[in-house]
A and B are shown apart, each in its own frame.
Chain A
Amino acid sequence: MPASPSQLDLTFAALADPTRRAILARLAEGDTTVNELVEPFNMSQPAISKHLKVLEAAGLVSRRQEAQRRPVHIEAAPLAEAVGWLENYRKFWEKSYQRLDGLLAELQSMTPKSDRKN
């Protein structure tokens, strides 16, 4: 199911912050708890919790209740949607620009630098 534009907005807004991107990169390796994020990020627990709330509101992470802990889990679908959206553009432009690289090399080999007008 394609995400709605508002979902995409939430995703991009959440991803715009470098700390939140780093948290997601950590979570991509496996679930963790808030306390386990405090030390490597050198931030207070309330600061980490605030970032997690933004990620949770965007649907990028979820938290479940276990006996003594609430591990944070990364949610793949909205991220995949965001990746797919930009990836389409990337493919189009990268393929075109690779052909342009070749054309520019060809044009330069045909035109000596001193002959070219700027």
Chain B
Amino acid sequence: MPPLTITLPSDREIQITRSFAAPADLVFDCWTVPALIQRWLGPADWVFTHCEFDARVGGKWRFVTRGPDGFEMASGGEVLEITRPTWIKTTELYDMDWTGGETINTNRITEQNGVTTSVVTILYASKEARDGARATPMAEGMEMGFKRLDELLADMPAS
């Protein structure tokens, strides 16, 4: 599978594209069934302490995860649109509002020749919210220096 790509389709969005060697219905289930979501989503070393996802229009979802130092992070929202196995649209708001207001998250899932591609698009309340959502300290960016620059540039929208 090719590595994931991250692009900025507009000044309020971030888009993450990745392909999987699995059929679309399995990928969809991994995004919408709490028992499966808990197995993969989130930063390394963080564990779910609560995971609900009511996979129908108007259904509520809520994730609470705990980091290695005991810090808990929670977010939740509502399912706006859902069509198995191709489309998920939800709202999301962190309890501590890391993202400068609610985001609207969509996930377009398409299968071709046994390979399923998931295109996640996160729409922020404003350009400032999107740009402010970054949390990486400057030091980390500097340390990476130009090593990953080629990779980043390859992901940039083609003008």
A positions within 8 Å CB-CB of B: 1-2, 5, 8-9, 12, 15-18, 21, 24-25, 28, 76-77, 79-90, 92-97, 99-105, 107-108, 111, 116-118
> Are A16 and B157 neighbours in the complex by a CB distance under 8 Å?
yes
Contacts of B27 in A (CB 8 A): 100, 104
**How distant is B46 from chain A, measured CB to nearest CB, in Å?**
10
Given A15-B156, A84-B142, 15 other A-B contacts at CB below 8 A? A9-B127, A16-B156, A25-B153, A76-B146, A82-B152, A85-B141, A86-B6, A87-B141, A90-B4, A93-B16, A93-B18, A97-B40, A100-B20, A107-B22, A116-B26
> Are B21 and A9 neighbours in the complex by a CB distance under 8 Å?
no
> Are B144 and A84 neighbours in the complex by a CB distance under 8 Å?
yes
> Are B85 and A118 neighbours in the complex by a CB distance under 8 Å?
yes
Identity of the chain A residue whose Cβ is nearest the Cβ of B130 in the assembled complex: A5
Contacts of B36 in A (CB 8 A): 103, 107
Report the bound CA distance from A9 to B130 in whole Å.
Answer: 11
**How distant is B32 from chain A, measured CB to nearest CB, in Å?**
13
> Are B153 and A96 neighbours in the complex by a CB distance under 8 Å?
no
Give the number of A-B contacts (CB < 8 Å). Answer: 138
Contacts of A118 in B (CB 8 A): 23-25, 85
> Are A104 and B22 neighbours in the complex by a CB distance under 8 Å?
yes
* B96 at interface by CB-CB < 8 Å: no
In chain B, positions 109-150 with a C-beta closer than 8 Å to chain A are 120, 127-128, 131-132, 134-138, 140-142, 144-146, 148-150
**How distant is A38 from chain B, measured CB to nearest CB, in Å?**
21
Known A1-B138, A8-B131, A97-B18: A83·B39 in contact at CB below 8 Å: no
